[in-house]
Amino acid sequence: MECLLDYTKEEMIEKLAPLGIKGYRVEQIFVGLNQGKTFVEMNIPQDIKQTLANNFASQPITILDKRISVDGTIKFLYRLSDNNIIEGVLMKYKYGNTLCVSTQVGCRMGCKFCASTLHGLVRNLTAGEILGQVVTINKFLGGKLGENRMITNIVLMGSGEPLDNYENVTKFLRLVTDKKGLNISERNISLSTCGLVEKIKQLADDGFKVTLTISLHASTDEERKELMPIANKYSIKEILDACHYYYSKSNRRVVFEYVLVKDKNDSFEDAKKLAGLLSGLMSHINVIPLNSVEERDLIGSTREQAAKFVQMLSKLGQSATLRRTLGEDIDGACGQLRQKYIDSNGNLN
């Protein structure tokens, strides 16, 4: 069954007209769906509720479970209509609530340090399933729309490679920034990618102004290939060229993620090479000591070494911060999200 949350307002007008639902009712339904309501919960006549329910699903996602970290971070397990389970993380900061959303069930990028890719790609999420994560958690927190929403920032850093699901992800961006919907500004949205060069350029050409975040993790192609198979396809130089292009179109500073792996990419030499690469580009580096993933044998650098690495970058004139790790005790930190599903006996696997 098609899900109405998948549609823009214009599409909804088209879909609902043949059913005799028109005018302000469509707007009411659009708003209701973005508030996280099911048809029954909307303030519309009974016969319209019935017509809608006969033809469409309303919300594509339900919260199956949640785990709360000692630091206040919450990891959610969401159930999709086909019984796939995806994960998401809510982080509370002084300035607001950031929701980390998934864009695919699984991932096919194969990064050596990440749990999301262990079983490959299962399927892409639809725009509505990505939006549904934000809508559901906003409702869970008692948020409304616009000024009264409870989610202030979104990071596309859950499971999946957002630019490997370009159409649905960009449609999601259009929906979540809709003035009549959650109306979250592109400035408050970060899209993280392992560096799919053509898609980065397309994002720029399509006029998006989200914060582009590149998972770089190495300062040479050789080093990068050891960690990320995608490095066999695109060189760091090609990625950086695409970043320059994105900056020239969007005027938005590009952020680089750099996971520190003990004795692999955390030396002074590495810091120097990294700073050299990024000189001339308006950029910021988030340094993260690698979080442990059971199936992987890579070891993260110590916090001390990570702090030193950041200091080295700063001395070299490169803006950088050591990222706080949130939610590690609940396997909710970067790279720890994984795919699950419910089997025919109703058990979570």
Looking at residue 158, its amino acid is G
State residue 96 phi and psi, 5-degree precision: 155, -165
From 87, 161, 186, 257, active-site residue: 87
Smallest gap, in angstroms, from Cβ of residue 165 to ligand SAH?
Answer: 10
Q: Which is nearer to ligand SAH, 44 or 298 (CB)?
A: 298
Please identify which residue in 290, 312, 322, 330 interacts with ligand SAH, judged by CB under 6 A.
290
Alpha helix ranges (H) inside the chain: 9-16, 24-34, 46-55, 127-140, 166-176, 197-205, 221-227, 236-250, 268-278, 303-315
CB 195 within 8 A of CB 234: yes
113 binds ligand SAH, rule: CB under 6 A: yes
Q: Give the one residue of 114, 200, 285, 320 binding ligand SAH; rule: CB under 6 A.
A: 114
CB closer to ligand SAH, 5 vs 218: 218
For residue 334, indicate whether it is catalytic.
Answer: yes
Q: Based on the shown chain and the rule CB under 6 A, indicate whether residue 283 belongs to the binding site for ligand SAH.
A: no
Our finding on whether 265 is near ligand SAH (CB under 6 A) is no
102 is a contact residue toward ligand SAH (CB under 6 A) = no
Q: What DSSP line would sit under 140-196, residue for residue?
A: HTT--SGGG-S--EEEE-SSS-GGGGHHHHHHHHHHHT-TTTT---GGGEEEEES--
Whether the CB-CB separation of 296 and 113 falls below 8 Å is answered with yes
Residue 194 annotated as catalytic: no
Q: Which among 3, 100, 107, 334 is annotated as catalytic?
A: 334
| Stretch binding ligand SAH (CB under 6 A), from 67-75, 77-85, 174-182, 285-293 | 285-293
CA distance 207 to 348: 41
Asked if 193 touches ligand SAH (CB under 6 A), the answer is yes
Q: Is 259 in the site for ligand SAH (CB under 6 A)?
A: yes
Residue whose pair of structure tokens reads 């790790």 in the numeric block: 325
For residue 286, the minimal CB distance to ligand SAH (Å) is 8
With binding defined as CB under 6 A, does residue 334 bind ligand SAH?
Answer: yes
Taking CB under 6 A as the binding criterion, the range among 26-34, 88-96, 107-115, 135-143 that sits at the site for ligand SAH is 107-115
Q: How far apart are CB 161 and ligand SAH at their closest, in Å? A: 4
In this structure, what are the phi and psi dihedrals at residue 57, rounded to the nearest 5 degrees?
A: -85, 155
DSSP symbol at 310? H
CB 119 within 8 A of CB 337: no
| Separation CA 332–CA 326 (nearest Å) | 7
Binding site for ligand SAH (CB under 6 A): 109, 113-114, 157, 161, 192-194, 215, 257, 259, 288, 290-291, 293, 334-335
Could you list the active site residues?
Answer: 87, 334
